[in-house]
Amino acid sequence: MFRSFVWTRRVITFSFSRGPERAFFPMTQTSSFSTLGISPEVLEAIEVLGFDTPSAIQEQAIPAAIGGSDIVGLSHTGSGKTLAFAIPALECIDPDERAVQVLALCPTRELAVQICREVDKLALFMDGVSAVPIYGGSSFRPQLDALRRGVQFVVGTPGRVMDLMESGALRLDHLRMLILDEADEMLDMGFLEDIERIAEAMPETKQTLFFSATMSPEINRLVSRFMKDPVQITIERPTLTVPTIEQLYYEVVFSSRIEVLSRLLDTGKIKMGLVFANTKKVVDDIVDGLTARGYAVDRLHGDMPQIMRERVMDSFRKGSLRLLVATDIAARGLDVDDVDAVVNFELPRDPEDYVHRIGRTARAGRKGKAITFVGRRDFSLMSRIERFIGVKLTPEPVMTAVQVDQLRTESLVDDILERLKPDAILPEELKDVEAAPESLAAALFDLLRERTHREVQPIPEDKPARRPRHTQQSGEDGESPQKGDSWMNKDDTVTLFMNGGRMIGLRPKDIAGLFYNTVEMEKGAVGDIRIFAKHSLIEVDASVAPQLLNALANATICGYEVNVREDKGTPEYSDGPRPPRRNGGFRGGYRGDRDRNDRGGFRGPRGGFRSDRGERWGDRPRRDDRKKRF
């Protein structure tokens, strides 16, 4: 299917750095941008932007794409993909033709805006060439106006692109190039059908560029259907994180994490940080908790209007905020060089997301820290991440109240010493004060410390003799979790019990679909799913457990009624579906005359999750012609 593109001059090896397309690759290149067939106008812009040497994906993809070949680029985020497709795209544009000639599809609004910024910079010396981002969650009017004025380069999310195509506002009759950036992410988010419909509406003569981190069967099918003899370029990455990132972890229960984060801020361990959580609710809880303590912090997640999201990101870039708290999806496309620390308030379920998160620090040759909070249930997931990245995270003890106070004082003294001036003049108001200079300085220091002081809140981690979990096996410390504990007392995950299993044909995808369709959650909120003969155990994020328990008290899945509750260590044989009695009765007690339409259980998907449409996750359940009840 592919025409091989063999790079024979050397074996490409480099350290991977997640981030914007300015990522640094410590490898020796033998070519420069001037040897890749790029026009003088674009070369001049590249020089102004400060790019000297093309990255591996740029060096291979740019000349092949300029030569007219379809491209499949398998390269991870941060490898320089944006320039790899933006430069050939600009080369194929006719500035005199005021019609859409290039369409780039990407998974999120933030990434669309980021790509447009890079395109505008590269087109600095190309008169008459313009690009516009189009995405959901914002007004149609500015996007419609831009299209009516005539733009050659459109970057958009599939949902909004489809809307504008169906309304006739976006016409693709003159399209010369289609680009899919982060194709695997778009398919994971349920955009396959939209991508197919968009591609079908384009001229057959178009050139197509696919860029993805992985080559899934779905991408293979798209390639076979819409591309002509494509060149496949694969960039290997032997290491996933850069050595300038110090990767630490703190073992803390979920309820202690805001206090531990506050202590890190108070002692200067974090000056400008990006905090990641898995759900919008946890993001809101973190921001509310830190704001109440007086920190300059704001949030970024999918429920915010686009204008507010852009305002928050602009404030963070300018340094007006000390912390930005975000979900993984909302933070895509965020490009800030001054972040000195990334905090994983919760571990991501996907190791790739961990790499993407921490790659937002240690930019432009700087050093950075990746701080991760883990609970006792997180160590297997953390071990999986460590194996994936090939690096062991370093355990750190939580600072005590005494240590925090001491470090605060030292930091305050350092600030005072920095402001000392030999020719400083004493304010008039203090000249008549009858006190020794030492006494006056001590009084002012105490006053300053009182005004900047925050009372350290006691947490369980302050108690002595807690051994790090990474040195223990399960039950090694002589403690075992109490059965029947409330979900609020767990660290950060809750195990739910469902009285249905293999006997009724349940599959993990059925359960995941039920959960995601019933309660709005971020991807990854549902963890391990274990299916037994008569019951199933499902790990979920603690922040969504109450909503799930309430919504799934009496649910329907695959035609069966099931009950979901917190796991209390119930044996496998209890509570599972049982065959009917001989007299036609059913075990399990009276069920009442409930309206089946009011149960709120699994009702099938509505076309997959749409990040910019508000549609839902879920796999279509298998249906049975007969209703079964237990």
d(CA 147, CA 131): 10
Residue-by-residue DSSP string for 480-529: -PPTT--GGGSSSEEEEEES--GGGT--HHHHHHHHHHHS---TTSEEEE
Domains of the chain (ranges, CATH numbers) = 3-234 (3.40.50.300), 245-399 (3.40.50.300), 401-422+443-457 (no CATH), 487-598 (3.30.70.330)
Tokens of 470: 């990474």
Reduce the DSSP state of residue 367 to 3 states and report it.
coil
Band of residue 452 on the pLDDT scale cut at 50, 70, 90: low
Q: 277 with 325: CB under 8 angstroms? A: yes
Averaged pLDDT for residues 37-63: 92
Instruction: Give the residues across from 498 on adjacent strands.
Output: 536, 564
d(CA 620, CA 602): 9
pLDDT reported for residue 238? 52
Instruction: Give the residues across from 538 on adjacent strands.
Output: 496, 529
Tokens of 427: 């304010």
| Per-residue pLDDT tens digits for 384-423 | 888 778 889 999 999 998 898 888 888 778 777 777 777 7
Of 615 and 104, which is predicted with more confidence? 104
Q: 334 with 314: CB under 8 angstroms? A: no
Buried (b) or exposed (e) across 545-580, using 16+ Cβ within 10 A?
A: beebbebbebbbbbbbbbebebbeeeeeeebbbeee
Per-residue 3-state assignment (H helix, E strand, C coil) for 286-348:
HHHHHHHCCCCEEEECCCCCHHHHHHHHHHHHHCCCCEEEECCCCCCCCCCCCCCEEEECCCC
Nearest of 482, 458, 477, 475 to residue 467 by alpha carbon: 477
| Per-residue pLDDT tens digits for 182-234 | 888 888 778 888 999 999 999 988 999 999 877 888 889 999 999 999 999 99
In the predicted model, what is the mean pLDDT of the chain? 78
Residue-by-residue DSSP string for 548-573: HHHHTTTEEETTEEE-EEE-----TT
Reduce the DSSP state of residue 209 to 3 states and report it.
strand
Tokens of 360: 């937002």
pLDDT reported for residue 77? 60
pLDDT higher than threshold 90 for residue 504: no
- Distance in angstroms between the alpha carbons of the first and the last residue of the chain: 51
| Per-residue pLDDT tens digits for 340-368 | 999 999 999 888 889 889 988 987 678 89
Instruction: Give the residues across from 133 on adjacent strands.
Output: 155
Residue 87: count other Cβ atoms within 10 Å of its Cβ: 27
Band of residue 490 on the pLDDT scale cut at 50, 70, 90: very low
Nearest of 469, 481, 485, 555 to residue 518 by alpha carbon: 555
pLDDT higher than threshold 80 for residue 300: yes
Torsions phi, psi for 313 (to 5 deg) = -65, -35
Residue-by-residue DSSP string for 137-187: SS-HHHHHHHHHH--SEEEE-HHHHHHHHHHTSS--TT--EEEEESHHHHH
Tokens of 567: 């796991």
Distances from the Cα of 214 to the Cα of 85, 352, 462, angstroms: 17, 11, 44
Distances from the Cα of 448 to the Cα of 72, 291, 443, angstroms: 60, 21, 9
Best mean pLDDT range from 4-13, 460-469, 581-590: 460-469
Distances from the Cα of 331 to the Cα of 83, 167, 275, 328, angstroms: 21, 30, 10, 5
